[in-house]
């Protein structure tokens, strides 16, 4: 079992973004059922965000209500929270003032129900030295026991090499899937392997593309339809890759999502240039999908080689994000 902060976590974690940050917010009762299902299925590493929804109903508000109902679950969950943007949730701000504002707000919203085990800036502020930001977190929040540790998010290899000289980095959250394999070639996975830092793989199902349920733009969530990978000419090319994934999954008797998630986990033993722990954090809102995502499926060396040979012929069409969203900070 992988570990974070010395605590065992399930091989698959749970991403909370979709529970509170959607065009149509799901009922709170349904979200609480989803959280309980995830924990029951061994997905005890939860990844939420201060800006995953408006201040009055974001991940932390939902979590406070969940742990008020199930206080016995607080110690079972390893919780990571992304913050560090400005008060409007639009731009990274690593200044001491905003670092304190973000952390204090996150801690306050949980109302003492659960400690934040790991805090991460969603993107690195290019205008504030890492030493300044991490200095505040280390001295005022980790050493005082308010939070457990620091994780990086959406960073480049250079940032990892620099950050480990400043503070202990307990994880690196980056996009990784059959659909987005950039970190395997740009030095990020290799840097994590060098320092034995677990990779937290977000969007392991390619924002739904690898679920097998997207056949046209009409099946894409409205807020994603303007993104590069979903533009008509790109989507047509990407669906060719998705068809290959679906065929491989069908031959093994599993769903495309299960193939995608378990491929991500299996990389840690398939490749030597990645860390020993890769923890995918798929998001899902229904018990059935959560159970599907939690399934551990064995992929042999031959099957990994087949998958690798197949997907290498079908590169992703379109950038991971629109130009206005910073990446690899």
Q: Do strands 3-4 and 278-280 pair parallel, antiparallel, or not at all (unpaired)?
A: unpaired
Cβ atoms of 286 and 231 closer than 8 Å: no
Cβ atoms of 164 and 192 closer than 8 Å: no
321 included as an active-site residue: no
Where helices occur in 167-231 by DSSP H, the ranges are 188-194
Number of other CB atoms surrounding residue 267 within 10 Å: 23
How far apart CA 313 and CA 130 sit, in angstroms, is 39
Where helices occur in the chain by DSSP H, the ranges are 17-20, 28-40, 59-69, 96-110, 130-137, 157-163, 188-194, 232-252, 256-270, 287-294, 301-311
Between the alpha carbon of residue 5 and those of residues 24, 44, 119, 184, 200, the distances in Å are 35, 13, 12, 24, 13
Locate tokens 């943007």: which residue? 85
**Given 14, 52, 66, 202, the catalytic residue:** 52
Q: Which residues participate in catalysis according to the annotation?
A: 52
């Amino acid at each position: 079992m992988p570990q974070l902060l010395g605590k065992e976590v399930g091989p698959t974690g749970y991403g909370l973004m979709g529970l509170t940050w959607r065009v149509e917010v799901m009922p709170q009762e349904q979200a609480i059922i989803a959280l309980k299902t995830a924990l029951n299925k061994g997905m005890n590493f939860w990844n939420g965000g201060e800006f995953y929804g408006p201040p009055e109903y974001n991940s932390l508000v939902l979590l406070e209500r969940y742990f008020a109902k199930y206080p016995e679950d607080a110690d079972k969950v390893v919780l990571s929270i992304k913050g560090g943007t400005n008060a409007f949730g639009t731009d990274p701000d690593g200044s001491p003032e905003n670092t304190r504002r973000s952390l204090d707000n996150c801690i306050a919203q949980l109302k003492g129900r659960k400690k934040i085990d790991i805090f991460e800036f969603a993107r690195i502020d290019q205008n504030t030295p890492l030493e300044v930001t991490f200095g505040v977190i280390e001295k005022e929040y980790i050493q005082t026991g308010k939070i457990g540790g620091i994780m990086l998010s959406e960073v480049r290899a250079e940032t990892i090499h620099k950050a480990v000289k400043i503070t202990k980095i307990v994880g690196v959250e980056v996009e990784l899937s059959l659909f987005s394999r950039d970190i395997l070639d740009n030095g990020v996975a290799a840097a994590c392997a060098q320092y034995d830092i677990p990779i937290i793989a977000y969007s392991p199902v390619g924002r739904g593309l690898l679920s097998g349920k997207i056949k046209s733009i009409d099946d894409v969530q409205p807020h994603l339809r303007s993104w590069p990978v979903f533009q008509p000419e790109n989507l047509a090319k990407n669906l060719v890759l998705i068809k290959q994934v679906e065929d491989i999954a069908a031959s093994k008797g599993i769903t495309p999502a299960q193939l995608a998630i378990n491929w991500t986990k299996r990389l840690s033993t398939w490749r030597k240039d990645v860390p020993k722990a890769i923890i995918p954090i798929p998001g899902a809102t229904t018990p059935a999908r959560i159970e599907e995502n939690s399934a551990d499926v064995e992929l042999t060396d031959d099957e990994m080689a087949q998958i690798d040979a197949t997907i290498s012929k079908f590169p992703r069409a379109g950038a991971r994000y629109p130009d206005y969203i910073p990446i690899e900070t």
